[in-house]
Amino acid sequence: MNRLSWCLLALMIGGGFCPAQDRPNILWIYVEDLCPWLGCYGDELAETPALDALAARGARFDRAYMPAGVCSPTRSAVITGCWQTSIGAHNHRSSRTDEDQIRLPAGVIPVPTVLRAAGYYTFNRGKLDYNFTHDPKQLYDAHNTNMNFDRLRDVATLWRPATKAGKPFFGQIQLRGGKHACPARTDADAVTVPPYYPDTPLVRATIAHHYDTIRKTDDEVKRILAALDRDGLTDTTVVFFFSDHGFGMHRHKQFLYEGGVKVPMVVAGPEISSGVRKDLVSGIDLGATSLALAGASPPQMMQGKDLFADDYSRTFVVSARDRCDYTIDRVRALVTERFRYIRNELPDRPYMQPQYRDSWRVTKELRGLAADGRLDEIQLAFYGESRPREELYDLRHDPHQVTNLATDPAYRRVLARHRGLLDEWTKRTDDRGQRPESAAGLRAVLDRWKDKCVNPEYDDVRAAVAAENATKRRVLILGDSISMGYTPVVKRLLREDTWVVRPAENCEGTTKGAANIDRWLQLDGAPYDLIWFNFGLHDIKRVKANGRNSNDPRDGRQAEPDTYERQLRAIVAKLKQTGSTLVFATTTPVPKGGVRPHRDVEDPERYNAIARSVMKENGVAVVDLYAFALARQREIQPRVDVHFTKEGSAALGRQVAAQIAARLRR
């Protein structure tokens, strides 16, 4: 966006900003998957001294609810200050391909865009996960997707460009929160198991682990606050601490009970009165509040409200669940002062539809207990084949929401009131989730998740894709994580007349390749006109005796040269049996400086030489991706990392697509 565009935007959203020195810095500490099990919220098991101190000097919100129970719809809503259902960003992980782009409606302007136009320096550290078309460079002066906060040696480097320029800053620091992998420290015997879970050692360990992630998060918050203090910014910075939704267990994350959408929210800083807020607030209010603190007028279409305005009030807060990954659902929930109302708009589907947690040990245990009849009535209710159309819970007397009052005649008027409130909200906010997801959106999901897409909505799209693909040339790509990066580009460039297929998994090295090649050759119905494959980058990495990655060069390679050659020959023999045109791509470079896990810089060419010899003997064409990447290494591998930047993967994808297209023409 050029200087004139920024000026026009500033005029459009209100202009008239305060001088920089009169405006506070605004810092969002944005946490994933975290419940409000904090000391400042009265949890006696939690160890959260930093967050407790932050809450003591600021406002603690006891009834803060997020607009969704999963990250990307919530993050899309929070950053725009609009309900995700009003802007078409309600389906989890949508707008991720060129074919299913979702553009924000006119007048909807993300918070960092408004604040940049207002003279703020804006930055983000970590994930964005917005379900609409956006350019991070337009939103933020500085943006880094790295979620490993421990690797950020000096937190203050995030905001120092602003202080040097004499600007206030708006920053987002994303923390892993409930997704942290932490050592077990919390006593599992000390946790409380809610009645909707069976009391088993594994369930207790899972809950205890969440307390460990909270402790880890508190340590990270301590680092951030200490860095602000060292730079003398504590008294000029408003700090927001909040989570995108509740913790990852079933009935919490992705669902719309209290555990899924009720989150910790603390705001502290200049002009913020300390105390406890027990009124209903929504995550979409964070943007409007930040703009008010900055003295910036909210965009006309913003639906959020300033939390600290004298007239702030919400009679109810709504949360929504729509498609989550590949699982299609539609649920709306409305919470008032005393009651939670839930409307399941697809009641014929079970709560526990296929989902990303299916591989978890605790998921398998709970499903097994349900199948064996070893759950009580409350616990088993979540594992039926259907669910009620409506649910109503009295939060005052039933905080765990296990007694559904929707069919109780004594609550008929309460039910009717909440039903009416939701109907009115649906109409007033133009809830786009009431409409089917676009064919392009479903197609993008189907392309990514394939056989995991079992809902009937995929049937027509799957049939249309099969009919189209029946007329196309067929290409199979097998390879490591580098090919995972460039395959989407190849698919896009060749989609008019070529069907490109790749396993959803990382094919890794020849050890995994030799074991799985038969299965991969049957993907989406063989045969293939051309098979493009590469193995080597995983073979050369160092591993411990137990097979785990190693950073020690004294440990052996995943496949030593003789093993690599033997396994590669076995793979090529299988590929030749298909009768397809075969093309081998050489392994890409290892940058100097010590990658993790360890790989010797010289090994790619050493293994490429072995591969060239095998391919020559078998009459297989070789494309030298090593030379292509090495000539552009500064641009596509700027970090000490074997992986490529997004731009690097795009460049590699263009090269691969051109090579495949040329061979198909022959």
Domain limit, last residue, from 418, 434, 450: 434
Looking at the domain assignment, is residue 263 inside a domain?
Answer: yes
**What is the CATH classification number for the domain harbouring 483?**
3.40.50.1110
Whether the pLDDT of residue 631 is over 70: the answer is yes
| Confidence (pLDDT) at 2 | 40
The C-alpha atoms of residue 575 and residue 581 are separated, in whole angstroms, by 9
Q: Which residue, 128, 150, 131, 142, is CA-closest to 170?
A: 142
What pLDDT band is residue 619 in, cutting at 50, 70 and 90? very high
The C-alpha atoms of residue 231 and residue 262 are separated, in whole angstroms, by 33
- In DSSP terms, 531 is beta-bridged to 476, 582
The C-alpha atoms of residue 99 and residue 337 are separated, in whole angstroms, by 42
Q: Residue 452 sits in which domain range?
A: 439-466
Same domain, 129 and 217: yes
| Percent of the chain residues topping a pLDDT of 90 | 92
Looking at the domain assignment, is residue 32 inside a domain?
Answer: yes
Whether the pLDDT of residue 70 is over 60: the answer is yes
Whether the pLDDT of residue 618 is over 60: the answer is yes
Query: What's the CA angle centered on 143, arms 137 and 146, to 5 degrees?
Result: 140
Question: HSE-up of 610 (CA within 13 Å, CB side)?
Answer: 22
Same domain, 277 and 378: no
Express each pLDDT in 442-491 by its tens digit.
999 998 898 999 999 999 999 999 899 899 999 999 999 999 999 999 99
The C-alpha atoms of residue 284 and residue 81 are separated, in whole angstroms, by 5
Whether the pLDDT of residue 98 is over 90: the answer is no
- In DSSP terms, 343 is beta-bridged to 332, 390
| Confidence (pLDDT) at 601 | 97
Whether the pLDDT of residue 6 is over 50: the answer is no
Q: What is the mean pLDDT of residues 49-69?
A: 98
What pTM does this model have? 0.86
Looking at the domain assignment, is residue 315 inside a domain?
Answer: no
Looking at the domain assignment, is residue 251 inside a domain?
Answer: yes
Same domain, 362 and 488: no
Other CB atoms within a 10 A radius of the CB of residue 348 amount to: 9
Phi/psi region, residue 664 (left: phi>0; alpha: psi -120 to 50; beta: rest), is alpha
Express each pLDDT in 379-408 by its tens digit.
999 999 999 999 999 999 999 999 999 999
What pLDDT band is residue 524 in, cutting at 50, 70 and 90? confident
The first and second tokens of residue 638, run together, are: 């700027």
| Percent of the chain residues topping a pLDDT of 70 | 97
The first and second tokens of residue 122, run together, are: 């804006």
Q: What is the mean pLDDT of residues 532-537?
A: 97
Whether the pLDDT of residue 5 is over 60: the answer is no
Express each pLDDT in 303-326 by its tens digit.
999 999 999 999 999 999 999 999
Same domain, 100 and 43: yes
| Confidence (pLDDT) at 639 | 85
Same domain, 159 and 31: yes
The first and second tokens of residue 337, run together, are: 């002062």
Domain limit, last residue, from 254, 278, 310: 310
Same domain, 453 and 418: no
- In DSSP terms, 144 is beta-bridged to 125
Same domain, 483 and 420: no
| Confidence (pLDDT) at 20 | 53
Same domain, 384 and 453: no
Q: How many domains does the chain have?
A: 4
**What is the CATH classification number for the domain harbouring 180?**
3.40.720.10
Phi, psi of 129 (to 5 degrees): 65, 45
| Residues 567 and 550: beta-carbon distance below 8 Å | no
Same domain, 346 and 212: no
Same domain, 449 and 554: no
Q: What is the mean pLDDT of residues 621-648?
A: 93
Q: Which residue, 366, 387, 385, is CA-closest to 376?
A: 366
Same domain, 406 and 459: no
Looking at the domain assignment, is residue 158 inside a domain?
Answer: yes
Looking at the domain assignment, is residue 561 inside a domain?
Answer: yes
| Confidence (pLDDT) at 97 | 85
Same domain, 71 and 133: yes
Average pLDDT value for the chain: 95
Looking at the domain assignment, is residue 320 inside a domain?
Answer: no
Q: What is the mean pLDDT of residues 175-188?
A: 96
| Confidence (pLDDT) at 21 | 58
Looking at the domain assignment, is residue 489 inside a domain?
Answer: yes
The C-alpha atoms of residue 232 and residue 616 are separated, in whole angstroms, by 65
Phi/psi region, residue 581 (left: phi>0; alpha: psi -120 to 50; beta: rest), is beta
